Amino acid sequence: MSASVTVFLITVASLLMVGAIGEMLFSRIKVPAPLWLILIGAGLRLGGVVDGQTLAGLTPYFAAITLIIVLFDGGSRLRLSGGRVKAIAARGTLLAVATFFFTMFVVALFSVGIAALGVLPRWSFVHGLMLGAIVGGTSSLLTGPSLGLAGIRGRIRGLLSFEAALTDALCAVFTIAFVDVLATGSAGAGGALWTLTKSFGIAAGLGGLLGWGWIPALRLLRGSTYTYPCTLAALMLLYVLVDVAGGSPAMGVLAFAIVVGNARSFTLWLHDLPDADGVADVQLDGDAQAVHSQIRFIVKSLFFAFLGMMLAPPWSLLVMGLVLGVVILLARIPAVFVTLGARLRGSGLERRDVSLAYVCMPRGMAAGALATLPLLAELPGSEGIPTLVFAAVTTSIVIFTIGFSRAYGDGALAPSGDEDDDAAIDEPAPVAASPVADADRAVAVAPVATRPTPASEGESGAAASEGGASVGEEADAAASDAERAPPA
């Protein structure tokens, strides 16, 4: 075996091991595993184990796979209806929209300012809006697991998980929109609107159509070990098909994911059924969810190491990326205060919950993957975007780590004994001491995953999520906690 193959295998094995150990140790040291992976990736780059040319060649392939996994994960967990989710959805949507748009515009202004200093050549305000859209949302792959592993429960967990899932979708939609506008050179409002309508229409149409057609396929594949491989293959083919048709591939994947994730609701509505007892088999089953969780863990571990490897000169971009991470925090504070902090009475939230919301701002795989789209589209002035975004992602994770550790270390956020935000989540028996404590419990319980009974499926479903359930189901459970809790 050649030396290069040996180094490759040792590197991948080390990254996966560090990712798993980091997840297991998070509840003790309060440092997210991605931070360790980023540091190791940076060390590999500085040590000369990998070179920039090799990374540049891998970027388009890795970015496509990451986008497919992230958008399918986020879209399939974004529930459009169900139970008490409405109690969380209204304020969660307000929080997501406020933080996303305020961050996008603040980042756009910041980028125009540093462009005037010569850091970002050939830069426009539309470029700035695109950059703001890339980093405008929190990471659903970091927020949910961190709150779950730390034992954070109640309405705040549902709100922050809902915000993360929704902003993942907003980031994808608006980033793709600005990339399309800049790529086609549509200067006028009419031209830009036509470009967006065409791109999104093709993507949403093909993605939604294939997603709808995949619902009966899931019924046929129910219980098969090939459910997830077939679904992943369909996603990859859809990505290519939408691109060839002239639409946005990422938007097509997102549309497919939302349809498949809400298959039960759509089927109930179409057939006018009173409950979900007869449509329990139109979604990914427990085995498929477990495989998806493990694939997601592997991609996440490799991606954050890749992100660390991409942290390289020019130093001006790295420094401004670090500053950008702080700007994101400063933009988040007023948005959170207006939507949560200013209206505590009767909300089921406490001041400590709002303090957590201020620092719950880590950016992650979605931002990193979206940062490669302008470069792959060969947009003028986009050369420095990946480095800028990767540095900002790292800074946001560091800020989240420090803020979360201080708040949780003081014991202020320790869950009370009568709260149980998973009360409405029908899961297989948890494995408390599982050696594979990934970001979500689905990985940990994969060996014992069983098919839920129809009754329990009707109550909560079995969609994969950061905590083993969909965002809507987390919101249902969190809303139940909030109803039992006294007003702040």
| Cα 342 to Cα 85: distance, rounded to the nearest angstrom | 22
Q: Which of 33, 12, 11 is nearest to 436 (CA)?
A: 33
- Give how far Cα 461 sits from Cα of 316, 350, 449, Å: 48, 30, 14
| 274 burial via Cβ count (<10 Å: 0-12, 13-18, 19+) | exposed
Over 70: is that where the pLDDT of 412 sits? no
Encoded tokens for 331: 């933009």
CATH code, 3-484: 1.20.1530.20
Query: What pLDDT, in 10s, does the model give residues 197-210?
Result: 888 889 889 999 99
CA count, 13 A, side-chain hemisphere, 206: 24
Percent residues over pLDDT 70 in the chain: 74
Q: What pLDDT score was predicted for residue 191?
A: 67
The larger pLDDT score, comparing residue 352 to residue 137, is at 137
Whole-number Å distance between alpha carbons of 64 and 56: 14
Query: What does the pLDDT average to over 431-436?
Result: 37
Does residue 386 register a pLDDT over 60?
yes
The Cα 315–Cα 255 span in angstroms is 38
pLDDT single digits (tens) 255-287: 899 888 887 777 776 655 545 445 555 567 677
Q: Which residue has the higher pLDDT, 75 or 280?
A: 75
Does the structure show a pLDDT above 60 at 419? no
Contacts of 205 (CB under 8 A, 6+ apart): 247
* Cα 392 from Cα 325, distance rounded (Å): 4
How deeply is 410 buried, as exposed, middle or buried, from its count of CB atoms within 10 A (0-12, 13-18, 19+)? Answer: exposed
Q: What is the pLDDT of residue 339?
A: 86
Contact 22, 31 (CB under 8 A): yes
Q: What is the pLDDT of residue 392?
A: 94
Domain residues of the chain, as ranges?
A: 3-484
**Band of residue 220 on the pLDDT scale cut at 50, 70, 90:** confident
pLDDT of res. 129 = 93
CA distance to 111, 133, 182, 191, per residue, from 125 (Å)? 8, 12, 11, 17
CA distance 391 to 388: 5
